[in-house]
A and B are shown apart, each in its own frame.
Chain A
Amino acid sequence: MRSGIFLAGLFIAALFYPLIFPNLLSIAIYFLLLAGWATSWDILGGWAGQVSLGHAAFVGVGSYALAILAGRYGIAPWWGALAGMALSAALAWVWGLVTFRLRGPYFTLSTIAIAEILRLVAIEEAWLTQGAEGIFIFSLKSPFGFDLFDRQVEYYTALLYLAAVVGLVAWLARGKLGYQMRAVREDENSSQAAGIDPTRIKLIAFMLSGALTALGGAIYGVYLSYLEPHDIFFLPLSVQIALTAIIGGRGTPFGPLAGAFLLVVAAEVFRNAFAEANLLIYGVLIVLVVIFLPRGLIGSWQHRAVRRRYARSARG
């Protein structure tokens, strides 16, 4: 409850951000998108326990779908985004059907492979994607007269996206699907004894995770307005999405948001403060969090809070 009020406050503060820091919009947009991707990633990786290192694939499908449909057929970007989401859900479904029989690290490895395959497709199938040359997004239909290339409009779109994804996950976490995902993550056999079909739950989580990541990908595409396979289907992007959620706290509605805040802000501060040493210090920071807060920032806090609350109630 208290965290809900805190987040509502944050959201309202975020509404005023562009007025206060009009020159720091690009980094804010990237932060919002990264937080949204990490939260989407976490549906599969944190809640359902299937670690993906290929979520850049969905970023790519979302952004490319929007770019190709808008560039070639003049289709409005929101329909392009929707198509990207549907395509991503379909991709996740097929990919999950094939790979969810694999347990442990094999699923993770397969996700790296898929993103890599899509990168090669984006390079080779130039008739569709314009190959390694890349594809420009230069004109888009304007909803209600908003110019989608305006940084402020992009900021609010990304903010809305993040709020929607976090809200959805927080809502899911309290209900049937949220608990079924956690059950599958904790123990597949035991979840079957509770009448849960683990493959079905993992597929739902994967499709939802993929589609929401693609939605952020579509916004990212407009923000970059130039897509190039090497930058989009990019393993370090997949790793960063996963890392953001893990540092923040897997399987917590607000953990990935906290992770994105730490990583983006820390990276920016370190770049300014430490010049060349910034990546080293950034790496050390990540290692420290992983060692001392293995459940992530919010995860560790929540873990302790549940125990404190119980201890207090047990004492009467």
Chain B
Amino acid sequence: MHAALEAEGIVVQFGGLVAVNDITLSLDEGEIFGLIGPNGAGKTTLFNALTGYAPMRRGKVSLFGEDITQLPAFVRARLGIGRTFQIERPFEELTVLENVLIPAFLHRARRSDAERVAWDALEQAGIADRAHQPSADLNLARRRRLELAKALSLKPKVLFLDELMAGLNPPALAEMIGFVRTLTKSGLAVLMVEHIMKAVVELCDHVMVLASGERIAEGSPEQVTNDPKVIEAYLGDSDEPGDR
């Protein structure tokens, strides 16, 4: 039985700068894995390496035992890696439904079939009521939901969420946490980069802390938030994990 996603010895280097150094992680079906750390720790870079958007210097990535290290991002997406972007990227000229239709077309060539998949994803992300609104007109919270819906309509097996909660007000945050929790019930594995500790503590089964590209702690949310090394890493960056 293979893990949903396995990464071994991932190294990402930009010129002389080692952005991600020798990171190994494993993620099971239905698990929510949190990746936290101060700004510039290399979380998003690691994310991009795993999803195929940043070139890896060394390391191996496998999806359900299949080596995907050499595959471009769009092939990884076809194999079941869904992702959201930290800076939301709706297809601005299109409506919400049309945005979500595009990934849905991946496995359904007929529009009526793809629309059914898209509507399901809109429901799951709580934005079905805005289906016919032009996506450029959405507010931040709804843009985030749209990001989630786009990733879901791909029917992913592993879902990467890059700071999906950042900037949401408390009610929107609570709702978004609810949406993500529901997703894993069907066995979806979730890897999330997150600054909002409330979301990390409430959702994650397992958390890894990165600082300057290195893994400095790993464990349950309670374990890592009490780890002196983690507190130091955040304080050194004048960025306390508790008050984000």
Binding site for B on A (CB under 8 A): 174-176, 179-180, 182-183, 185-187, 189-198, 251, 306-307, 309-310, 313-314
Smallest Cβ distance from A175 to chain B, in angstroms?
6
Smallest Cβ distance from B77 to chain A, in angstroms?
4
In the complex the two chains form, is B89's CB within 8 Å of A310's CB? no
In the complex the two chains form, is B111's CB within 8 Å of A193's CB? no
In the complex the two chains form, is B103's CB within 8 Å of A307's CB? no
Please measure, in the bound complex, the distance between the C-alpha atom of A306 and the C-alpha atom of B33, giving whole angstroms: 40
Chain B window 44-80, contacts with chain A (Cβ cutoff 8 Å), 1 for yes, 0 for no:
0000000111000000000000000000111001100
Pairs of residues from A and B, 6 with the lowest C-beta to C-beta distance, nearest first = A186-B91, A194-B103, A190-B89, A195-B77, A195-B106, A192-B74
* Segment 69-111 of B: residues with Cβ below 8 Å from A: 72-74, 77-78, 82-83, 85, 89-95, 98, 101-103, 105-106, 109, 111
* B114 lies within 8 A of chain A by Cβ: yes
Find B74's partner among A195, A306, A309, A310 (CB 8 Å cutoff).
Answer: A195
Please measure, in the bound complex, the distance between the C-alpha atom of A310 and the C-alpha atom of B131, giving whole angstroms: 9
Chain B residues lying within 8 Å of A175, measured Cβ to Cβ, are 111
Number of residues from B at the complex interface, CB < 8 A: 34
* B151 lies within 8 A of chain A by Cβ: yes
* B154 lies within 8 A of chain A by Cβ: yes
* B134 lies within 8 A of chain A by Cβ: yes
Smallest Cβ distance from A159 to chain B, in angstroms?
29
- Which residue from chain A places its CB closest to the CB of B82 in the assembled complex? A193
With A175-B111, A313-B132 as given contacts, are A197 and B91 in contact (CB-CB < 8 Å)? no
Find A189's partner among B85, B102, B106 (CB 8 Å cutoff).
Answer: B85
Chain B window 135-155, contacts with chain A (Cβ cutoff 8 Å), 1 for yes, 0 for no:
001000000000000110010
With A186-B94, A192-B74 as given contacts, are A179 and B105 in contact (CB-CB < 8 Å)? yes
In the complex the two chains form, is A194's CB within 8 Å of B106's CB? yes
With A183-B91, A313-B132 as given contacts, are A192 and B73 in contact (CB-CB < 8 Å)? yes
With A186-B91, A307-B137 as given contacts, are A195 and B109 in contact (CB-CB < 8 Å)? no
Smallest Cβ distance from B113 to chain A, in angstroms?
11
Find B93's partner among A182, A194, A307, A314 (CB 8 Å cutoff).
Answer: A182
- Which residue from chain A places its CB closest to the CB of B93 in the assembled complex? A186
* B26 lies within 8 A of chain A by Cβ: no
Please measure, in the bound complex, the distance between the C-alpha atom of A185 and the C-alpha atom of B93, giving whole angstroms: 10
With A179-B102, A195-B154 as given contacts, are A187 and B91 in contact (CB-CB < 8 Å)? yes
Chain B residues lying within 8 Å of A196, measured Cβ to Cβ, are 74, 102, 106
* B223 lies within 8 A of chain A by Cβ: no
Known pairs A182-B94, A189-B73; list 8 more (Cβ under 8 Å): A179-B101, A186-B90, A194-B74, A194-B102, A251-B93, A306-B134, A307-B134, A310-B132
